């Protein structure tokens, strides 16, 4: 019996047909940009790294037109090397591509179709052409790649979120819209601020920096962010230590309402002389600032009927009876949102 097993093993090996590409035979795609193209096609731009020997590698960008937004290595090749998506770090969707729902849906379904692509891939959107963004970040050549940006700029990211493929899929399943962080880049700099609102996979509008910050607080993502207030013409930065929200749904005069209580704990990054009264004033200033940002974000989202906060899903899970009473299509748009912020200073 052992001989039979050994023989079958040998034959199986020889006939396995398995084989991989050598690592140096791959181009490592780090960024992918998707723009709209003529007809039903898309213009996909890949920013990839080619190993060159002698510890050097060059970064390039290459665009092709393709009928699908979710490309695989079978569609694109560059010279003798295979395009390898295992190290894809970011996907940038151009604004024009978001005028059709297919690109976003295809990107979000990429996780199940291609196991090479990690669920940690960052999704970004751009008001400019994604191909320009990708070419800029690829062409800079000195390492300012998108994947380094989040790692190297943790403290600066008070006006943006990190939206991964996994998170986007989760939100897309439960909400009728998502907010995709916005990127802008040139040869020198990368900047990620604000966000693009997508309702039903389609472009609706955008959140500016302040509104994006408000959105972040509404999503309970404020921890670690920095909030700056101005007191007596002095700027006082505060680090947000905790951001916890409580949402209560109720009916008020036949209208669906929600009270969103944002509780924030903050710690000042600079030392100041406070007396008790001024400390309360400072807390009040912070509350007011955060509340304004949150309200403007909520108003913007409501105006585009983009329930990126997942309020509808939360209501469905908490009180399905109340949820069923209202039309799901307009529920978020017509919801009366009352945002209250309370700040505790450490």
Partner 1 sequence: MNFSCNDRISNNQLRAILVAGLLGNLAVSAPLGVIEKSGSAAYISIAIGGLAAAVLFYILIKLTSAGFVKSYEDMSTESLGRGISFVLFAVVLIHIVLYGGFQLSISARMVQETMEKGVGKNFASLIIVLVSAYMAQRGSECIGRIAEIAAVLMLIFIAFIFIVSAPSMDLTVLRTTPAESRGILKGAFDAFCSMSAAGFVFMLSPKTNNTKKSAMSVFSAIIIVTAVLSFGTALSVSCFGLKEAERKLWPVIQMMNYTEFPGSLVERQEVLMSGFYVFSSFILTGISVYLSSSLLGHMFKSVKKKWPFLLASCLAVYALQYCGKDAYGDFNLIYWLYRFNPVMYIIMIISPVAAIVRRKK
Partner 2 sequence: MELFKELNKNKEYIKNTFFGSDDVVFKEFDNKAVKCFMVYTDNIVDGATIESAVLTNMMVLGGSQPDTEGIERHLISVGETQLVESFEEIFDAVLLGDTAVLAEGDNRAVIISTKGWPSRGIPEASTEVVVQGPKDAFTEQGSINTVLIRRRIRDTALKVKRLKCGRRSKTDIAVMYLKDVAKKELVDNILNQIESINVDCILDSGYLEQFLEKRYSSPFPQLQLTERPDKAASAIYEGRVVVVVDNSPFVIILPSTLNIFFQSSEDYYERWEIMSFMRILRFFAAALSVALPGLYIALTVYRPDLIPTALALKISSGRAYVPFPTIAEVLIMETAFELLREAGVRLPSPVSSAFGIVGGIVIGSAAVEAGIVGPVVVIIAALSGICSFAVPNPEFVSALRLVKYFIIFFSAFLGLFGFYTSVFLVLVHLASLESYGVPYLYPFCGGSVDGYTDFKDSIIRVPLRLMKKRPIFARKGQKIRMADKKRGGGS
C-alpha 286: how far from its chain's center?
26
Q: Quick one: 24 exposed, middle or buried, by C-beta within 10 A (0-12, 13-18, 19+)?
A: exposed
CA-based torsion, 274, 277, 280, 285: positive or negative:
negative
- Site map (CB under 8 A) of partner 1, residues 116-145, x = contact: --xxx-------------------------
**Residues 330-334: contacts with CB within 8 Å, 24+ apart?**
330/305, 331/256, 331/307, 332/176, 332/301, 332/302, 332/305, 332/306, 332/307, 333/302, 333/305, 334/255, 334/256
Answer with the entry of partner 2, partner 1, none that 173 interacts with (C-beta below 5 to 8 A by kind): partner 1
Which of 54, 173, 271, 273 binds partner 1 (CB under 8 A)? It is 173
**By CB under 8 A, is residue 82 in contact with partner 1?**
no
Residues touching partner 2, count (CB under 8 A): 26
d(CA 344, CA 284): 10
**By CB under 8 A, is residue 12 in contact with partner 1?**
yes
Answer with the entry of partner 2, partner 1, none that 346 interacts with (C-beta below 5 to 8 A by kind): none
Orientation of helix 276-303 relative to helix 209-218, angle to 10°: 100
| Binding positions for partner 2, 141-160, rule CB under 8 A | 147
Answer with the entry of partner 2, partner 1, none that 49 interacts with (C-beta below 5 to 8 A by kind): partner 2
The length of the chain is 346
Which of 77, 153, 252, 320 binds partner 1 (CB under 8 A)? It is 320
- Across 67-156, where does the E strand assignment appear? 77-78, 81-84, 90-94, 122-126
- Site map (CB under 8 A) of partner 2, residues 281-310, x = contact: ------------------------------
**By CB under 8 A, is residue 116 in contact with partner 2?**
yes
122, 106 Cβ separation under 8 angstroms = no
Tokens of 159: 């006006």
- Site map (CB under 8 A) of partner 2, residues 54-73, x = contact: xxxx----------------
Residues touching partner 1, count (CB under 8 A): 28
C-alpha 264: how far from its chain's center?
23
Which of residues 114 and 336 has its CB atom nearest to partner 2 in the complex? 114
Which of residues 51 and 139 has its CB atom nearest to partner 2 in the complex? 51
Backbone torsions φ then ψ of 106, nearest 5 degrees = -70, -40
The residues that bridge with 90 in the sheet, in sequence order, are 31, 122
Q: Report the nearest approach of partner 1 to the CB of residue 118 (Å).
A: 6
What are the residues binding partner 1 (CB under 8 A)?
1-2, 4-5, 8-9, 12, 16-20, 87, 112, 115, 118-120, 166, 169-170, 173-174, 314, 316-318, 320
What are the residues binding partner 2 (CB under 8 A)?
13, 16, 18, 20-24, 26, 28, 30, 49, 51-57, 84, 86-87, 89, 116, 118, 147
């Amino acid at each position: 019996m052992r001989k039979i097993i050994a023989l079958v093993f040998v034959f199986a090996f020889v006939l396995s047909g398995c084989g991989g590409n050598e690592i140096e035979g791959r181009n490592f795609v780090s960024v992918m940009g998707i723009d709209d193209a003529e007809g039903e096609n898309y213009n996909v731009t890949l920013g990839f790294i080619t190993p060159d020997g002698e510890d050097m590698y060059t970064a390039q960008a290459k665009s092709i037109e393709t009928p699908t937004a979710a490309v695989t290595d079978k569609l694109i090749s560059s010279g003798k090397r295979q395009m390898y998506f295992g190290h894809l770090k970011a996907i940038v969707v151009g604004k024009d591509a978001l005028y059709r729902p297919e690109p976003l849906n295809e990107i979000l379904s990429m996780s199940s179709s291609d196991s090479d692509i990690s669920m940690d891939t960052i999704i970004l959107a751009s008001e400019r052409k994604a191909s320009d963004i990708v070419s800029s970040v690829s062409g800079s050549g000195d390492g300012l790649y998108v994947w380094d940006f989040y790692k190297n700029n943790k403290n600066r990211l008070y006006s943006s979120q990190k939206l991964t493929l996994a998170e986007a899929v989760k939100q897309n399943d439960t909400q009728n819209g998502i907010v995709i962080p916005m990127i802008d880049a040139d040869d020198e700099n990368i900047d990620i601020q604000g966000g693009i609102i997508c309702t039903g996979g389609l472009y609706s509008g955008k959140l500016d920096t302040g509104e994006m910050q408000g959105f972040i607080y509404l999503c309970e993502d404020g921890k670690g962010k920095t909030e700056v207030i101005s007191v007596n013409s002095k700027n006082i930065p505060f680090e947000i230590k905790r951001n916890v929200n409580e949402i209560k749904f109720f009916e008020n005069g036949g209208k669906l309402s929600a009270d969103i209580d944002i509780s924030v704990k903050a710690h000042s990054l600079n030392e100041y002389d406070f007396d008790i009264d001024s400390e309360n004033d400072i807390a009040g200033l912070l509350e007011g600032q955060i509340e304004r940002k949150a309200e403007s974000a909520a108003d913007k989202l409501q105006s585009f009927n983009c329930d990126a906060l997942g309020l509808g899903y939360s209501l469905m899970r908490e009180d399905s009876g109340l949820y069923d009473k209202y039309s799901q299509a307009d529920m978020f748009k017509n919801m009366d949102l009352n945002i209250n912020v309370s700040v505790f200073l450490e």
